[in-house]
Amino acid sequence: MSKVQYYCAATIDGFIADPNDGLDWLLGYDGHYEGDEADAGPMGEGGSYEPFYEKVGALVSGSTTYEWVLDHLEEWPYAGKPCWILSSRDLRKPDGYEDEIRIVNAPVGEIHDQVLESAGGRNLWVLGGGNVASQYADAGLLDELLLTVVPVVLGAGKPLFAEPLPGGPMVLTGTTTFRNGMVELRYSLQS
């Protein structure tokens, strides 16, 4: 059965981007941890990204996250997977991926069945940002939060969620400590 997962990194004070939507705090991070139980790292060999991404069948994103990917990465990183972009604007699409990218202006509840169907029985990755994740949580459609906490403090920026979550507290389902000093926290949002 497909899961709807919000997989992301955030600063220790809860921001997924700086006030200008920048990720230098994450991309330039260089920390370490010497504990015996540490894993290689979220993006490294033995990390959590590859096993997570192998189970993803489709992605959903807001326009700011989508445009950041287009502006900062040389190649489209999600080839072969349908990517749904929530936007009221017309947005450009990278050459060669026009059929994989669907730009829609609709509430997540209205398109959810189509998005899950496009995932082909695999998981749906809520790529970001906090507004999109909050929409999924408010609609009762977000199953898990997979959060990599980066020991950086920004003091301001784009929050992990755009608003308080409905319902009770999330349930911790697991943790992983990485050799770079980051920690992954896994939470269930569905009781």
Mind listing the pLDDT tens digit for each residue in 133-164? Answer: 999 999 999 999 999 999 999 999 999 999 99
pLDDT at 77 over 90: yes
**What's residue 115's pLDDT?**
97
Residue 38 binned pLDDT confidence (cut-offs 50, 70, 90):
confident
Q: Rounded to 5 degrees, what angle do the CA atoms 72, 103, 43 make?
A: 40
In order of start, what are the domains of the chain with their CATH numbers? 4-184 (3.40.430.10)
On the question of pLDDT at 40 being above 90, the answer is no
Give residue 42's pLDDT: 63
What mean pLDDT, rounded, does the chain reach?
A: 93
Report the predicted TM-score, pTM, of the whole model to 2 decimal places: 0.93
Nearest to 6 by CA among 114, 168, 163, 161: 161
Token look-up 């993006």 returns: 43
pLDDT for the residue numbered 75: 94
Looking at residue 166, what DSSP letter applies?
S
